[in-house]
Chains A and B, each alone.
Chain A
Amino acid sequence: MAPLLSATAIGVRYGGVVALRNVSLKVEAGSIVGLIGPNGAGKTTLLDAITGFARCSGRIEMDGSVISDTVAHRRVHRGLSRTFQSLELFEDLTVRDNLLVSADPGRWWSIFVDVIRPGRRIAEDAVDEALGLLGLAECADSLPPTLSHGQRKLVGVARAMASRPRALLLDEPAAGLDSAESTLFGEELRRLVAARDVGVLLVDHDMGLVLNVCDYIYVLNFGQVIAEGTPASIRQDTDVVAAYLGEQAEGPDAGAIAAARRGDATGRQVVVTPALEPVAGHPASARRPGLNEGSRKPALVVQHLVTGYSGVPVVRDVSLSVSRGEVVALFGPNGAGKTTTLLTISGLVEPISGSIEIEGQECAGVAPHVLARRGLAHVPEDRGIVPSLSVRENLALVRKHNRRQVLGVVTSYFPALEGLLDRRASTLSGGEQQMLAIALALATSPKVLMVDEMSLGLAPVIVERLLPIMRAIANDTDTAVLLVEQHVHLALEMSDRTYVLSHGELVLEGQSADLSSNRELLESSYLGTRAL
């Protein structure tokens, strides 16, 4: 018998970039299939392709009949339904109305009936059922913006369920939920699958959730499936650990992870490791010797920062500091609030409360361009370059009068850029773009340099070349460097201290050297903290 949903040899290109290459997967009715992978691996693109929102090559079938050429809304009629990563609820419709839209897509003639009998009842039972399944009956008449984040997530799923799908595609439904909510969500999902015999394709970064509820898991990286199998086999797959933590295939055995997970099952209080001197013989030779904490002046001090969007906190009570000449790494699973923290420090997101000081000067609420002039450089996640300008023009954006000096600084760290000066930035490779982004930030001679997800979408080889440069910058120019990194292994090696964020809160901080030797702690905060 044909599987409920099958995608065969899916390929997607955006312009010249290959987002997906030859990806195949199957979802059976009554099962939950996980789709995981690091940021930028192509997970959402795959969901877009399957549901008709992205043009793709390959074949998509429901119950053995091909739907690849069907337009998006008709695929829903065939029993395929999805949610969105950013929810995309209808913000000015009540929860019930949100569900009604999906429960009854309407017909050509509906308008004539509607104008005469606007109050006619439609598909209420499907809606009530979906509301009941997800425990939303209470807030059926609320508008989405008045709901909690967790409830909004459930509304997204309920809306997808209201069309009575047979295959349900969920895009990061647990992102932004705290671990209790996430556990609850997993249970709801299991119940739902059992009750309605749907097949679920679950994309999520919450490894605890995925490993717990899925029957089968596909792992995507760089647009390709790098592993597939049962949760037990995925857990032991060294490639997967490597993809997540950016390591070579020497990851810890699953037993260690499980042990760590059990050990940390009780709570999420901050674990502070005692400040230790770098362990002798540890590959931390790049770190500057002879400097102890006391002699360093703090350049960036963040205290009790609460920040988020539209008054809803995403980051709660985070305190951190970076001293001059120090490299500090900020880790955490996706959705932990790392980028939001950086955006708040650089003034692009307004903090809800807390203080941010740069060299003793209060910076919370100051306009971003003013902060930049005060010596704060921020390389954002999407690379702070201007794609439509040439490399030379990009460098001309640096507010310095001495052009030659700018060029000198840039080429001393990134000699490769010298030959690319007249190329359009958009035509550079990912690594070259990232070099340019860092070079731009560097050329402003910053006191504090923040780099967000430098390795995003870059091959490990390039990351290995770029990360040590950050160390060199800190050493040479006495800049305070704050790194948000996926490549935990490498970043630990070249950073002095580390903070770990999870669900918007600081869960771990300490000397990088200690964490390198006690990696279970770190992995547990990444791979979910629940007992198995």
Chain B
Amino acid sequence: MPKRGQLLWASVVVFYVALYLSSRQSADALLFGIASGALVSAIALGVVLTHKGSGVVNFASGALAMYIAYVYADLRSSGRIFIPPLPNPLALVEGVAHKAGAHGLKLPHWPTEVSLGGGHWGFLPALLVALAVAVLIGLLLHVLVFRPLRGAPPLAKVVASVGLLVLTQGIVVDRFGTSPIALRAVLPKRGVTLPRSLIVPEDQLLSVAIVLALTLVLWAVYKFTQFGIASRANADNEKSVVLLGHAPNRLAAASWVLSTVLVGLMGILVSTVNTSVDPNTVVLLIVPALAAALIGGFSSFGVTVAAGIAISMGQGLIQRWSLDSWFPHLRGTPLPGIQQLVPVVVIVVVLFARGSALPSRATVSALRMPFAPKPGSARAISVKMAVVAAIGVVLLLTLHPDWRLGIASSAVWAVLAMSLIVVTGFVGQVSLAQMSFAGAAGFALSKVTLHQGLPFPLGPIVAILIATILGVAVSGVALRVRGVDLAIVTFALAVAAENIIFNNPSLAGNNFGANVPPPRLGPAHFGPNDSTGWSLFGYHGDGKIPNPWFGVFCIIVALLAAAVVLNFRRSHSGRLSLAVRSNERATASAGVSVTRVKIVAFSIGALLAGTGGVLSGYLNGSVTTDTFSSTASLTLLVYAYLGGIASVGGAFTTGIVSAGGLAAVATTSWFHLNNSYLILLGGVGVVITVVLNPEGIAGETRKNVKRLGRYLGRGRGASGEIGSRPASTPEPTAVPAPMHRSADAMRGEAEPSGTTA
């Protein structure tokens, strides 16, 4: 840390001490957040540990803490270990059999738990078994996910860890629901009297003490043992560590185990202090934890823990202040979620200060992305679109209402996915805030239609413009921050937007969200719940909701959006975007303003996200915080990556497999799977996809089709020109991510002799 940093630290400490001494109230406020500060610090330590060991910024660090806490809770209450529900291939057989009428057929399922004798378990045995599970999880994560991803592009690692977050959360929600589970306190809750006669519960102080003690142990291990020194060295110069005979894999595995156990332990302890655990709160502590880890430079344990505690204290302080009369109020209630701004501000300031407009020589070409296929000719595209539209309309007019809803949902998700395709797929900037743009448009739509009375085409246009302007504003950050760092910033912004804007009752209405009146243009009523009496060439529908014409509207909008994205990709702007994605320095050296390309991409991305948000508002008849939460942004990235992040075809795949989409309708109506199970499947799917096939489903399908085409071409013999001119029909993965070649081997290409690209 430079001198400036020390100055900043000193001023924070002085400020806190002064506050503590100034009044009893503010002293109380400072200690308000101290227990969660312990957990934030632990999660941040987990992030630092895994980053040291394997170079992964683990967004799921908080989710793992939550998961282990649930393992503990389940052990305490019923003496068993729950097993993640696994996809059962036999369920398919069973489903088909049931459809065919064989209702008696029962095939074996995966076990859902390991019973350890049942009954209520005591604290210590439950803790130890839960930590043993943590060890196992840490090992599995290393072996199954992050070891194969060594040398993979940073985006793949981000997506994998985000997928892990979605997966763990999905498992817990599927199993235990979203409401909190009560936990018995284990640490003494007696009040401890501090100077100025402040009374703080003992367990709060104890959890901080435990984190500090653990930090000290970690510090000593990393300072004095060969394992620790080698791990530190590994983060700095992996090549030399390997050349001295250390196995980097073992170091990485150890750090995954260590970090999982650490966050698990503190997750359990702090949950008992709070006497409850739920699948959301702890997961989102990753934002302040990431802020703390950033301050610690992803390396210093001490600084990280101090920052974690300081940030939490700041958050607690603001939470307390919001009860005061001077605190900014909106319509009688204090502005909610301002405390979320603390980590956001920290993250933005730290990253912006450290960032630069162009990456340095060493960091260039760190980001390798899935291939972005060039779309066919305008005519081919129009034909494809017409076919999709025709099929969609016919299905909408004939199918069961559930399927109509599925088609509409798929179209909405496809539009949302397209926003990520532009930002991430084409320009290579990882945004975890796309659903916030969608939400901004959704809530704006509700406002301008209900309060300003703007009619149909005008209301959504204004709403989408608002989202676009926000996109331009956020792109300002992306100009200096890239890669994983950008993912961190945008995620923090998404959390802030969720808490400050979408949770604001004056904006978002009550718990049921803000109403969105259905779209109506003159006599045409095509809201999903609008009267559905219609007749076309003497054909009448079933008269049920949703109105099929709403589905048609969604398909038209989705195809328009697809046309925009395809044209963007085909045009010179798309060419410049891919150039930026491929190499920012080289793009600048070609005379292109990288700044402009990024701003354009972010605004188009926000425009599309806004469009998706507006459609989603119409579809649900309302906009709610949940729909546009930060977790929703993560889920969107997961599904978009699953579908294929670099092509429009991928967006439609995303639409089909997303929550409420066609695949969901199919699985729920055929196999009676619930929604949380689908999210869980998405999490599993994306992790597997990233590990096996970084191009996503669409990329894989396209490759297979190409391979098939080439095979057929060869089969046709002399006429098969495809096979005979390999140079002109290059394999799309001609820029492979050499997954199993270690990163240092890449770095080793110091001698500019080869095809070092």
Q: State the A residues within 8 Å of B (CB).
A: 44, 48, 51-53, 71-74, 76-77, 81-82, 84-93, 97-98, 100-102, 104-106, 108, 110-111, 114-120, 122, 139, 141-146, 149, 152, 159-160, 163, 172, 175-176, 308-310, 312, 314, 334-340, 343, 346, 348-350, 367-369, 372-373, 377-378, 380-389, 393-394, 396-399, 437, 440-441, 444, 504
How near does chain B come to A445, taking the closest CB pair, in angstroms? 11
Q: How far is the CA of A384 from the CA of B750 in the complex (A)?
A: 13
Would A393 and B229 count as touching, CB distance under 8 A? yes
Stretch at the interface among B5-13, B307-315, B358-366, B382-390: B358-366
Q: How far is the CA of A444 from the CA of B241 in the complex (A)?
A: 12
Interchain CB contact (< 8 A) of B753 among A120, A336, A389, A437: A336
Cβ contacts under 8 Å, A437 to chain B: 240
Q: How far is the CA of A382 from the CA of B735 in the complex (A)?
A: 27
Q: How far is the CA of A369 from the CA of B230 in the complex (A)?
A: 13
Cβ contacts under 8 Å, A159 to chain B: 590
Determine if B372 is an interface residue (Cβ-Cβ < 8 Å): yes
Determine if B194 is an interface residue (Cβ-Cβ < 8 Å): no
Decide: A118 near B240, CB < 8 A? Known: A105-B593, A335-B753: no
Q: How far is the CA of A495 from the CA of B600 in the complex (A)?
A: 60
Decide: A111 near B573, CB < 8 A? Known: A86-B752, A87-B757, A176-B752: yes
Would B604 and A340 count as touching, CB distance under 8 A? no
Interchain CB contact (< 8 A) of A389 among B229, B372, B744: B229
Interchain CB contact (< 8 A) of A53 among B569, B585, B744: B585
Interchain CB contact (< 8 A) of B240 among A53, A82, A385: A385
Interchain CB contact (< 8 A) of B572 among A52, A110, A340: A110
Cβ contacts under 8 Å, B727 to chain A: 139, 142, 146
Stretch at the interface among B34-42, B72-80, B242-250: B242-250
Considering residues A102, A350, A397, which has the most beta carbons from chain B within 10 angstroms of its beta carbon?
Answer: A397
Cβ contacts under 8 Å, B753 to chain A: 175-176, 314, 334-337, 339-340, 504
Cβ contacts under 8 Å, A117 to chain B: 571
Would B748 and A348 count as touching, CB distance under 8 A? yes
Closest B residue to A77 by beta carbon equals: B591
Q: How far is the CA of A312 from the CA of B726 in the complex (A)?
A: 17
Q: How far is the CA of A102 from the CA of B593 in the complex (A)?
A: 11
Query: Interface size of B by Cβ–Cβ distance < 8 Å?
Result: 79
Q: How far is the CA of A91 from the CA of B371 in the complex (A)?
A: 10
Would B237 and A385 count as touching, CB distance under 8 A? yes
Would B750 and A339 count as touching, CB distance under 8 A? yes
Considering residues B571, B572, B573, which has the most beta carbons from chain A within 10 angstroms of its beta carbon?
Answer: B572
Interchain CB contact (< 8 A) of B244 among A102, A339, A399: A399
Determine if B754 is an interface residue (Cβ-Cβ < 8 Å): yes
Interchain CB contact (< 8 A) of A82 among B575, B579, B589: B589
Q: State the B residues within 8 Å of A (CB).
A: 226, 229-230, 232-233, 236-237, 239-248, 299, 357-358, 361, 364-365, 369, 371-372, 378, 564, 566-576, 578-579, 582-583, 585-594, 596-597, 600, 604, 726-728, 730, 734-736, 738, 741-742, 744-745, 748-757
Would B571 and A115 count as touching, CB distance under 8 A? yes
Would A119 and B240 count as touching, CB distance under 8 A? no
Would B244 and A114 count as touching, CB distance under 8 A? no
Would A53 and B358 count as touching, CB distance under 8 A? yes
Interchain CB contact (< 8 A) of B755 among A93, A122, A149: A149
Q: How far is the CA of A372 from the CA of B245 in the complex (A)?
A: 5
Would A399 and B582 count as touching, CB distance under 8 A? no
Would A91 and B567 count as touching, CB distance under 8 A? no
Q: How far is the CA of A397 from the CA of B238 in the complex (A)?
A: 12
Closest B residue to A426 by beta carbon equals: B236
Would A369 and B246 count as touching, CB distance under 8 A? yes
Would B575 and A101 count as touching, CB distance under 8 A? yes
Would A397 and B572 count as touching, CB distance under 8 A? no
**Interface pairs (18), CB distance under 8 Å:** A73-B589, A81-B589, A85-B752, A88-B589, A90-B578, A92-B582, A100-B575, A105-B590, A106-B572, A108-B596, A111-B573, A339-B748, A348-B742, A378-B243, A380-B243, A388-B236, A389-B229, A440-B244
How near does chain A come to B48, taking the closest CB pair, in angstroms? 14
Interchain CB contact (< 8 A) of B591 among A105, A122, A339: A105
Would B570 and A118 count as touching, CB distance under 8 A? yes
Would A389 and B232 count as touching, CB distance under 8 A? yes
Q: How far is the CA of A17 from the CA of B236 in the complex (A)?
A: 19
Decide: A53 near B589, CB < 8 A? Known: A104-B572, A115-B567, A386-B236: yes
Q: How far is the CA of A510 from the CA of B371 in the complex (A)?
A: 49
Q: How far is the CA of A159 from the CA of B583 in the complex (A)?
A: 14
Q: How far is the CA of A499 from the CA of B295 in the complex (A)?
A: 50
Would B757 and A88 count as touching, CB distance under 8 A? yes
Q: How far is the CA of A159 from the CA of B588 in the complex (A)?
A: 12
Would B233 and A369 count as touching, CB distance under 8 A? no
Q: How far is the CA of A19 from the CA of B357 in the complex (A)?
A: 21
Would A91 and B735 count as touching, CB distance under 8 A? yes
Interchain CB contact (< 8 A) of A51 among B583, B589, B742, B755: B589
Would A100 and B585 count as touching, CB distance under 8 A? no
Closest B residue to A48 by beta carbon equals: B361
Would B591 and A386 count as touching, CB distance under 8 A? no
Interchain CB contact (< 8 A) of B728 among A115, A142, A343, A385: A142
Would A115 and B564 count as touching, CB distance under 8 A? yes
How near does chain A come to B75, taking the closest CB pair, in angstroms? 38
How near does chain B come to A207, taking the closest CB pair, in angstroms? 16
Cβ contacts under 8 Å, A172 to chain B: 752
Would B244 and A398 count as touching, CB distance under 8 A? yes
Would A111 and B600 count as touching, CB distance under 8 A? yes
Cβ contacts under 8 Å, B589 to chain A: 51, 53, 72-73, 76, 81-82, 84, 88, 160
Q: How far is the CA of A116 from the CA of B564 in the complex (A)?
A: 8
Closest B residue to A378 by beta carbon equals: B243
Cβ contacts under 8 Å, A106 to chain B: 572-573, 576, 592-593, 596-597
Interchain CB contact (< 8 A) of B594 among A73, A141, A387: A73
Would A399 and B735 count as touching, CB distance under 8 A? no
Closest B residue to A78 by beta carbon equals: B591
Would A101 and B587 count as touching, CB distance under 8 A? yes
Would B233 and A399 count as touching, CB distance under 8 A? no
Cβ contacts under 8 Å, B596 to chain A: 106, 108
How near does chain B come to A24, taking the closest CB pair, in angstroms? 23
Would B572 and A369 count as touching, CB distance under 8 A? no
Cβ contacts under 8 Å, B232 to chain A: 386, 388-389, 393
Would B755 and A309 count as touching, CB distance under 8 A? yes
Cβ contacts under 8 Å, A377 to chain B: 243
Interchain CB contact (< 8 A) of B754 among A160, A314, A348: A314
Q: How far is the CA of A426 from the CA of B223 in the complex (A)?
A: 17
Would A88 and B745 count as touching, CB distance under 8 A? no
Would A88 and B730 count as touching, CB distance under 8 A? no
Q: How far is the CA of A92 from the CA of B582 in the complex (A)?
A: 7
Would A369 and B242 count as touching, CB distance under 8 A? yes
Would B371 and A92 count as touching, CB distance under 8 A? yes
Would B591 and A163 count as touching, CB distance under 8 A? yes
